[in-house]
């Protein structure tokens, strides 16, 4: 029974991120190559991830806690999200595209946290150790993202509407599957005496009154912006080497999405290194390593090419795993270890809001405008080398400021039981 439940949750997590991986990395190719729309408007498209993350996870969390079974709410959101994704190829102008993808993200973004809630609820109902059992289940989500990227690339859909059909059909399949999962009833943890701020999780905003936490959330936002830059432009950057005759038929151009998937493979591997680094160096140093890894990520992209510089592109993708994991996971642990247990869940939501919400909006809007205004060549092509160098400089400034202003003393006992 336990094996069956684990396998069912593995399948759920696999599809959860397969949906996202089907289009997230390749939508730029569809936008610029197939539709030939502009970079300023494209920045707004990625802001939909942030805008929906500002309110939907909190709202759906309250609904699942008080009124509707989590697995049913999860299924309904994927059903509507899948139907909307299937409509995207019908859109013929960038403004309408924004609203359609925004509607899809309103449905999809809260399912990320709901997938965790459903998994936790089912595992706990069977008296399984969530800390021990869930990570090996969750890693299949990253595998799903990788498989989706490969599927989109190898089926020739990385610049076509087929990527949205793959995502939409997968979402509807997951919606149907979720209705067969074990029941995850409302927990009704909010008492009648709770204030309205407690009900909507606003108590966590008091953390901004603390200097250290305010700084931490500020840097979370800045790093969230850096993450969006690679999601938005990485695959497009590799694909546009086709405009250089010497590289037009290179493996990097033909299999750009597969090359980019090395980043996700690296992500799964660096997760295993986190316990060692946290215990040895502490949270601040690990987060600093992440920030300098972003500098390397962008800097190597700036000087890479599909021939002699191929190693730079590959190493950049490998470095991504460290850049992403070392901040996101250690940052989550920092929140867990430094906030009051009564607001811990809300504080985690605030951390996600600052990275995937405010940070995503900041990164997507600003980068689109700056690229359109300052990083265009005379022939209208993107000046990729200077674009990546600008991103690298941004990350370097963030890292230096973090090293100077963020104060946190490492306590080796803090992560004593991390491996257990």
pLDDT for res 1: 44
Helix locations, 155-255, DSSP H: 162-178, 196-199, 211-239, 251-254
Task: Compute CA distances 169 → 18, 27, 107, whole Å.
Answer: 11, 17, 15
pLDDT for res 416: 47
Q: List the single range of 68-77, 138-147, 185-194, 392-401 with lowest mean pLDDT.
A: 185-194
| CA-closest candidate to residue 174, choices 57, 1, 27, 13 | 13
Domains of the chain, earliest start first = 1-183 (1.20.1250.20), 205-407 (1.20.1250.20)
Residue 144 C-alpha from the chain's centroid: 14
Q: What is the pLDDT of residues 341-388, one digit of tens each?
A: 555 555 666 777 788 788 878 887 888 888 888 888 877 788 889 999
Residue 39 — pLDDT band, cuts 50, 70, 90? confident
Above 90 in pLDDT, residue 268?
no
Average pLDDT score over residue span 3-32: 89
Contact partners, residue 4, CB within 8 Å, separation at least 6: none
To the question of pTM greater than 0.85 for the whole model, the response is: no
Range 367-376 contact pairs with CB under 8 angstroms and sequence separation of 24 or more: 367/43, 367/225, 367/228, 367/229, 367/232, 367/233, 367/391, 368/39, 368/40, 368/41, 368/42, 368/43, 368/44, 369/40, 369/43, 371/39, 371/43, 372/38, 372/39, 372/40
Asked if residue 349 lies in contact with residue 201, where contact means CB atoms within 8 angstroms, the answer is yes
Rounded CA-CA distance 119/130 in Å is 9
Q: What is the pLDDT of residues 286-334, one digit of tens each?
A: 889 999 999 999 999 999 888 888 899 999 999 998 898 888 777 776 7
Give the pair of three-digit tokens for residue 281: 């160096």
Above 90 in pLDDT, residue 96?
yes
Task: Compute CA distances 388 → 30, 39, 107, 363, 391, whole Å.
Answer: 21, 15, 32, 14, 5
Between 412 and 230, name the one with better pLDDT: 230
Above 70 in pLDDT, residue 259?
yes
Rounded CA-CA distance 369/15 in Å is 34
Q: What is the pLDDT of residues 1-10, one digit of tens each?
A: 455 888 999 9
Average pLDDT score over residue span 213-231: 83
């Amino acid at each position: 029974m336990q094996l069956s439940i684990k396998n069912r949750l593995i399948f759920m997590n696999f599809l959860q991120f397969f949906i996202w991986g089907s289009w997230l990395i390749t939508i730029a190719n569809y936008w610029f190559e197939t539709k030939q729309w502009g970079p300023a408007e494209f920045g707004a498209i990625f802001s939909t991830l942030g805008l929906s993350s500002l309110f939907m996870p909190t709202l759906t969390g309250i609904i699942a806690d008080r009124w509707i079974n989590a697995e049913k709410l999860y299924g309904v959101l994927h059903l509507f999200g899948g139907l909307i994704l299937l409509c995207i190829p019908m859109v013929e102008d960038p403004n309408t595209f924004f609203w359609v993808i925004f509607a899809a993200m309103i449905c999809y973004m809260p399912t990320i946290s709901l997938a965790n809630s459903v998994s936790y609820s089912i595992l706990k109902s069977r008296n399984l150790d969530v800390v021990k059992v869930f990570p090996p289940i969750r890693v299949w989500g990253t595998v799903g993202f990788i498989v989706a990227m490969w599927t989109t690339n190898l089926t020739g859909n990385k610049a076509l509407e087929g990527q949205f059909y793959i995502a939409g059909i997968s979402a509807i399949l997951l919606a149907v599957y979720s209705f067969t999962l074990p029941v995850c009833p409302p927990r009704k943890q909010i008492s009648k005496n709770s204030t309205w701020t407690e009900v909507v999780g606003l108590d966590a905003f008091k953390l901004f009154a603390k200097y250290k936490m305010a700084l931490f959330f500020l840097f979370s936002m800045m790093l969230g912006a850096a993450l969006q830059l690679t999601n938005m432009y990485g695959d497009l950057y590799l694909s546009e080497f086709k405009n250089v005759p010497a590289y037009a038929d290179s493996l990097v151009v033909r299999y750009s999405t597969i090359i980019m998937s090395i980043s996700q493979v690296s992500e799964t591997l660096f997760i295993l290194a986190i316990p060692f680094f946290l215990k040895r160096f502490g949270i601040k140093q690990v987060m600093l390593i992440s920030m300098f890894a972003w500098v390397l990520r962008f800097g190597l992209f700036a000087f890479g090419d599909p021939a002699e510089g191929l190693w730079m592109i590959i190493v950049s993708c490998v470095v991504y795993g460290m850049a992403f994991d070392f901040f996101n996971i250690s940052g989550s642990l920092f929140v867990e270890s430094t906030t009051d247990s009564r607001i811990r869940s809300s504080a985690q939501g605030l951390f996600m809001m600052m990275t995937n919400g405010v940070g995503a909006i900041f990164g997507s809007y600003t980068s689109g405008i700056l690229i359109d205004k300052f990083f265009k060549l005379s022939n209208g092509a993107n000046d990729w080398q200077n674009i990546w160098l600008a991103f690298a400089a941004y990350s370097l400034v963030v890292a230096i400021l973090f090293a100077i202003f963020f104060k946190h003393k490492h306590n080796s006992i803090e992560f004593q039981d991390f491996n257990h």
